[in-house]
Structure formats: structure tokens, C-alpha cells
Amino acid sequence: MTQEQGFKIRMSGAYTVSQITNYIKNLFERDYVLNRISVSGEISNCRYHSNGNIYFTLKDSTAQLNCIMFARERSSLSIRLSDGQQIEAQGRIAVYEKGGSYSLHVRSIKLEGAGELYERFLKLKAELENMGMFDPMYKKPIPEYCMSIGIVTAPAGAAIHDIINISTRRNPYVRLVLCPALVQGAGAADSISKGLKRLDGMGLDVIIVGRGGGSIEDLWAFNEPEVAKTIFDMQTPVISAVGHETDYTIADFVADLRAPTPSAAAELANFVYDDLMEELDALKGELKSSLLNRIRNLKAELKAYNEKLLRLSPQNVMAEKKRRMSELSGRMKKAMDLKIRETQSRLSDLDRSLREAMQDGLADSKRRYELLASRLDGLSPLKRISGGYGYLMTDKGSVKSVRDVSNGDMFKAYISDGYIEGKVLNTEET
């Protein structure tokens, strides 16, 4: 035998676990079949991990295989995996050295058998959703009080009997119009679409379309694009009631309202007649009480208007106006007399205040005048000259400093009774 990456046949002695496991890993990696293999089986122990990986086991009647689909491969997965699904997984067999185990690293998955129908269901659902056919803005409201209900279903199935029993029990006067249709097998989708279109032109309040439970193959007619488009184009509100509570079809998403069962659809479409009668009786009593109260209030208002009309008659109005004018005239005369007396008193006070202010002003002005005259007299040059003082003048002007004159300059010395002429002989600053 030859060497295989560290694994060498020995004549004696033991190999390590790592050597054995590494050898097996190399064998798996070099095997063309194991690197491009498809395995079919039933899913069990399916687990979506927080890291994005999906872990599950594929099993058949005698064996099982651990599988992992890494987060990077999930973009190709159009379905959500769950236990019990039959799938075909394509990928490669890889060895996990630390655990000493092998598993299938899955690259892609497709459902087998009924799973193929489920894949078609998911694909059509995505297409119609992208077209906006499931948008709530297109959903028509179901009338609260339906008196005419159309039904598209098999004429002999349990669904029609449940709908009739519940509808007539809730409202004995409801009008039920059945349009028999195939709900399974070849031609079922066309039969359902024709039944819906026929009832849509009859002016009914609402239409129920559906059937009892079954496998995905049994319910497939309600997943056909033809039925979905017909429901979307309907003018009459449509309640979809297909299968059991856990069953969903394309019709459920397109319809204006989805009921979990045909019986539930009958309950949603029908009001309870007895409850309505009780409600109407209660409203009748409230209306009667309201009318009686309204009549009493109107009588009271009428009485008040009559009294007001009497008060507003021309005779009463004139008498009231004369009385008010007389009252206002008396009030006005009193107010004017009071105003005149107040004005005279104020004028007398103002005259007295003015005279006192003028006398005070004159006395104050006289004192200020005498004070200013005394100050002015004290500052008079003539008074100073009369006291023995004088001032000097030259041709250049008054002499205020020894620097204003020079030796030889002529000057006049003014005193109280004349002036004296002189000549500058000498100057000296002190």
C-alpha cells in the first residue's frame, strides 16, 4: 500500500485516532460520488439555528443521516423545512474530525411527491402577492346584514349541508342560492370559476366558495390561477371556506375574507335574526322614550316662546321702553347734577390752588432775583474799581500778564474816576 498524507502502513504498532480520521476524511473528499450526491428521505429533528444554519436528520426505514445546510446556501431555499417532509437533498458527504462523524452538507433541497405541489403553491402565492392581488386595499367589506347569500360548492358534500343548517338557524329568512360546482379533480377550477361568475351577476350580498377538508391534491382546484383571478375580479364580496382550519389555499389569500371552515363561513355571513329583533326592540323602546322626552321638551319650549311672545307684544314693549326711558332720564338728571357739583368743586379747588401756586412762584422768583442781584453786584468790575482797583490797556488789548507788554510800551491805567497814561520801564515775573 502507498502513503496517504501522513497515514502509513506499519508492520506493527497502533495508529492514532487523528490519523485514522484524517485518512477517512481524505477518502471522502477524493470520492467523486460523495462530493456530488443526492439523498432522499424524511426530515426529522429539524432545527433552525440563530447563526442561520439549518440542522436536521434524513431517515428511512433502516438508517439515518445527519445533515446541515449552512446560512450561505439558504438563499436557494424557497420552503420552510419541518419534520415529516419527504425531500431530496443535494450536496456532499463531509467528515467532522472532532466528533468522528460524517454528515451531508446540503446545497439545495426540493420536496418530493406532495411536496412538489407545495412548491407550486408557494411559487404561485409569491407571484400573485407581487402582483398585489392579496393587498388589503382591494378587500371588499362583508355586509353586516346579509339577506341573500350565494354558495359555490359541491351539491352533495358536507360543506353545503353545514352552510344551510347554520344559515337557516341564524336567520330563517335568509335567501340561499347554490351554484353546484366540481371542487376536486379535472375541470374543478373551471367549474368553480363559472359558478362564481354566474352568482356575481345576481346582485347577492355575499358569496361563499369552498369545500370540506382533504389533502393538498384534493384542495388543489382552489390553488389554480384561474380561480384566483376570478375571485379578484368579483364585484360581490367573497368569503373563502376551503378545508379545515389549518388548510390554506390561494383562494383564501385572494378572497375578501377567509373562514377556517364552511361552517365558520356561514356564521360570518349570517347575522342572528333573533338577536337583531331583540336589538330592534331595544332600539324601539329607546326611540319611543326619546320621542316622549322630545315632545315634553318641545311643549316646554312652546310655553316659553308664548311667554316670550307676550312679553314682546307692541303694548308691553312700548310700556317697558317708557318705563326704562323714565328710569334712565331720572338717572341721567341725577348723574348730571352730581357731575356739575363735582366739576364746580374741582374748579374752585383748582382756582385756589392756582392762586396759591402763583403767589408762591412770585415769592420764590423775588428771592432768587435778589440773590442773583447780590451775586452780580459782588462780581461787578466797577465795584472793584471803586475799591482802589483798576485795569491796564495797551494798543494790543487788556494786560493780564507781564508778558503782554515790553519795555517802552505805552499803557493806560483805568481807575474809578478816569485813567492814567504811563510807559513800561521794566517787567519782572513773580
Which pLDDT belongs to residue 355?
A: 87
pLDDT digits 0-9 by tens, 88-136: 899 999 998 888 889 999 999 887 755 667 778 888 889 999 999 999 9
pLDDT digits 0-9 by tens, 34-64: 888 999 988 889 999 999 999 999 998 889 9
Which pLDDT belongs to residue 3?
A: 44
pLDDT of 216 above 60:
yes
Mean pLDDT of the region 402-427: 85
Residue 11's pLDDT band (cuts 50, 70, 90): very low
Residue 5's pLDDT band (cuts 50, 70, 90): very low
Contacts for 167 with CB less than 8 Å, ≥ 6 apart: 149, 174, 176, 266, 269, 270
Which pLDDT belongs to residue 169?
A: 95
Q: 358, 352 in Cβ contact below 8 A?
A: no
Residue 160's pLDDT band (cuts 50, 70, 90): very high
Residue 221's pLDDT band (cuts 50, 70, 90): very high
Q: 252, 242 in Cβ contact below 8 A?
A: yes
Apex CA 261: angle with CA 255 and CA 265, to 5°?
60
Rounded Cα distance between 139 and 237, Å, is 8
pLDDT of 12 above 60:
no
Rounded Cα distance between 406 and 425, Å, is 8
Mean pLDDT of the region 257-269: 93
Q: 42, 61 in Cβ contact below 8 A?
A: no
pLDDT of 1 above 80:
no
Contacts for 387 with CB less than 8 Å, ≥ 6 apart: none
Which pLDDT belongs to residue 381?
A: 66
pLDDT of 138 above 80:
yes
